[in-house]
């Protein structure tokens, strides 16, 4: 049998946008900003003081592709757990601190890879910045200034009337300036809002006014369906202008789902090498097979595939042969049969009942070859300014 020529599905030859020039910080081993690949993060939902459950969830997140994880720290028991969690986690752990400045110091001492502070609700935060900056500097711990529409500083709420983009940006830059007074610039910033329109404008303004790396998020984005769409729209609008260095999709759903969505957004924008991609038609009155069933069965059969394989599942001969020819593997269906394409060539025609098993069989062969050739095993494709 002749060898099938293989290739990587094209990552756009030209970046979607020049990345905004930003400072680089290190969150443990993960670089954020300064042209580093856009990273995906999430947050645990366990009680942090339950070390076993938290580490278990972090392991699940790690397996799903999460690169940075944040844990809440509302009590002393949670603060006491941080050192063990930070030491045993395979990915860098950020402690998320609200209200109590003492937990900022505890998290830094515990060896967390970064600390998120919410300037809107930390008691006497402005008076403690000098000490926080000193402790963070001594331990090499970056700080995320995480401004949130729901907990905006009261002074700014009074000034602007509500959490406008200008208010979010002013809050973030004011707090950053307090750190800067003490020579501390190891900072990343987020200005989250639940309305993508406000959020996009806030990040756009922030991007123009500073060079700190930006953590993108639509806060309280909602249940999985709505939250996925809001996040995809907002991140797409910003990342397509080169804005954003790390992302967190917030869903009312298990955190591993957030990671899947985040990764898919980056892959869709060509900011990460694509993995398995199913190109399937929406079906129409010309369809000669049940395209939904076929696409679902092929997707299920290839779940977990890591190589960048593009599989076209098409319902008829209008666009079918064209799309199937462009993909690594494809089927164009019609008259109870499926023409199977591998790398642009028809390799066989099979009865409709054999389409799924044939596609899966051929996909496995191609994937094996790709793995042998080391395709898709490297760093994600990235756009560096
Ligand atoms: S490929 Fe054929 S069946 Fe599918 S949407 Fe296009 S015309 Fe309709």
Atom 6 of ligand 1, nearest CA residue: 319
From ligand 1's centre to the CA of 279, what distance in Å?
A: 12
Q: Any residues with Cβ below 6 Å from ligand 1, and which?
A: 281-284, 286-287, 314-316, 318-320
Mutate to test the pocket of ligand 1, among 293, 312, 315 (most ligand atoms within 8 A of CB): 315
| Token pair listed for 316 | 């008829």
Closest among 55, 183, 172 to 125, alpha carbons compared = 172
Residue recorded with tokens 């954003």: 244
* 284 in a known ligand binding site: yes
Q: Determine contact, residues 32/54, Cβ cutoff 8 Å.
A: no
> CA neighbours within 13 Å on the CB side: how many for 91?
26
CATH number of 276-373: 3.30.413.10
Count Cβ atoms below 10 Å from residue 225 Cβ, excluding itself.
10
Of all atoms in ligand 1, which is nearest to the CA of residue 282? 5
- Give first-to-last CA distance, the chain, whole Å: 44
Q: Determine contact, residues 71/93, Cβ cutoff 8 Å.
A: yes
Domain-by-domain residue ranges, the chain?
25-269, 276-373
Query: Positive or negative CA dihedral for 219, 184, 82, 117?
Result: negative
Give 80-105 pLDDT, tens digit per residue: 999 999 999 999 999 999 878 899 99
Atom 8 of ligand 1, nearest CA residue: 284
User: Domain 25-269 belongs to what architecture?
Assistant: Alpha-Beta Barrel (3.20)
CA 112 from centroid of its chain's CA atoms? 21
The string of DSSP letters for 81-145 reads HHHHHHHH-SS-EEEEE-S-HHHHHHHHHTT-SEEEE-TTTSTTHHHHHHHHHHHHHHHT--EEE
Torsion angles phi and psi, residue 25, rounded to 5:
-120, 165
Mutate to test the pocket of ligand 1, among 278, 295, 318 (most ligand atoms within 8 A of CB): 318
Predicted pLDDT at 372: 87
* 326 in a known ligand binding site: no
d(CA 143, CA 313): 47
Of all atoms in ligand 1, which is nearest to the CA of residue 317? 2
From ligand 1's centre to the CA of 228, what distance in Å?
A: 27
Q: Determine contact, residues 63/53, Cβ cutoff 8 Å.
A: no
From ligand 1's centre to the CA of 285, what distance in Å?
A: 8
Predicted pLDDT at 13: 55
The rounded average pLDDT for each run of 10 residues, N- to C-terminus, in the chain (385 residues) is 42 76 97 97 97 98 97 96 98 92 94 91 77 96 94 90 96 94 96 96 98 96 93 98 97 95 94 89 89 93 88 87 88 90 93 94 93 64 33
Give 171-193 pLDDT, tens digit per residue: 999 999 999 999 999 999 999 99
Predicted pLDDT at 123: 64
User: Could you tell me the pTM of the whole model?
Assistant: 0.87
Q: Determine contact, residues 88/62, Cβ cutoff 8 Å.
A: no
Predicted pLDDT at 379: 42
Interacting residues of 180 by C-beta distance below 8 A, sequence separation 6+? none
Predicted pLDDT at 376: 62
Q: Which helix (H) or strand (E) holds 7?
A: none
The string of DSSP letters for 40-80 reads EEEE--S-TT-HHHHHHHHHHHHHHT--EEEEE--SHHHHH
Mutate to test the pocket of ligand 1, among 282, 313, 332, 335 (most ligand atoms within 8 A of CB): 282
Closest among 199, 187, 204, 250 to 224, alpha carbons compared = 250
Q: Determine contact, residues 200/234, Cβ cutoff 8 Å.
A: yes
Predicted pLDDT at 305: 86
| Token pair listed for 233 | 């729209």
Predicted pLDDT at 5: 42
Closest among 94, 99, 135 to 119, alpha carbons compared = 99
Predicted pLDDT at 383: 32
d(CA 230, CA 197): 10
From ligand 1's centre to the CA of 288, what distance in Å?
A: 9
189 forms beta bridges with: 145, 214
Edge-to-edge strands, sheet with 68-72 = 187-192, 143-148, 114-117, 93-97, 68-72, 39-43, 246-248, 215-216
Crossing angle for the helix pair 76-88 and 101-109, to the nearest 10 degrees: 30
Interacting residues of 215 by C-beta distance below 8 A, sequence separation 6+? 32, 41, 144, 146, 188, 189, 190, 245, 246, 247, 248
């Amino acid at each position: 049998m002749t060898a099938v020529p293989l290739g990587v599905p094209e990552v756009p030859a030209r970046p979607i946008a020049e990345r905004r020039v930003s400072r680089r910080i290190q969150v443990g081993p993960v670089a954020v900003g300064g042209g580093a690949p856009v990273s995906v993060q999430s947050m645990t939902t366990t009680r942090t003081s339950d070390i076993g459950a938290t580490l278990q969830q972090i392991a699940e997140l790690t397996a799903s592709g999460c690169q940075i994880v944040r844990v809440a720290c509302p009590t002393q028991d949670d603060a006491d757990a941080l050192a063990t969690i930070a030491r045993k986690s395979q990915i860098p752990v950020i402690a998320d601190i609200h209200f109590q400045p003492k937990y900022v110091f505890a998290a830094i001492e515990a060896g967390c890879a970064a600390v998120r502070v919410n300037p809107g609700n930390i008691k006497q935060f402005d008076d403690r910045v000098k000490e926080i900056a000193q402790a963070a500097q001594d331990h090499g711990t970056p700080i995320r200034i995480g401004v949130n529409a729901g907990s905006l500083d009261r002074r700014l709420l009074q000034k602007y009337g509500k959490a406008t983009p200008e208010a979010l940006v002013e809050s973030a830059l004011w707090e950053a300036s307090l750190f800067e007074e003490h020579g501390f610039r190891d900072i990343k910033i987020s200005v989250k809002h639940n309305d993508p329109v406000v959020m996009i404008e806030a990040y756009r303004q922030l991007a123009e006014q500073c060079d700190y790396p930006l953590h993108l998020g639509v806060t309280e984005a909602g249940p999985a369906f709505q939250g996925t769409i809001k996040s995809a729209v907002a991140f797409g609008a910003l990342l397509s202008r080169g804005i954003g260095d790390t992302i967190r999709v917030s869903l009312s759903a298990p955190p591993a789902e957030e990671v899947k969505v985040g990764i898919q957004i980056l892959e869709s924008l060509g900011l990460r090498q694509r993995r398995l991609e199913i190109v399937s038609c929406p079906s129409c009155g010309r369809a000669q097979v049940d395209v939904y069933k076929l696409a679902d069965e092929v997707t299920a059969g290839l779940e977990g595939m890591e190589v960048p394989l593009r599989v076209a599942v098409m319902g008829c001969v209008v666009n079918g042969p064209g799309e199937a020819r462009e993909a690594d593997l494809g089927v164009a269906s019609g008259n109870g049969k499926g023409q199977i394409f591998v790398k642009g060539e028809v390799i066989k025609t099979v009865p409709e009942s054999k389409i799924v098993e044939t596609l899966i069989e051929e996909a496995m062969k191609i994937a094996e070859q790709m793995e042998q050739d080391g395709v898709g095993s490297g760093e994600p494709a990235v756009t560096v300014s």
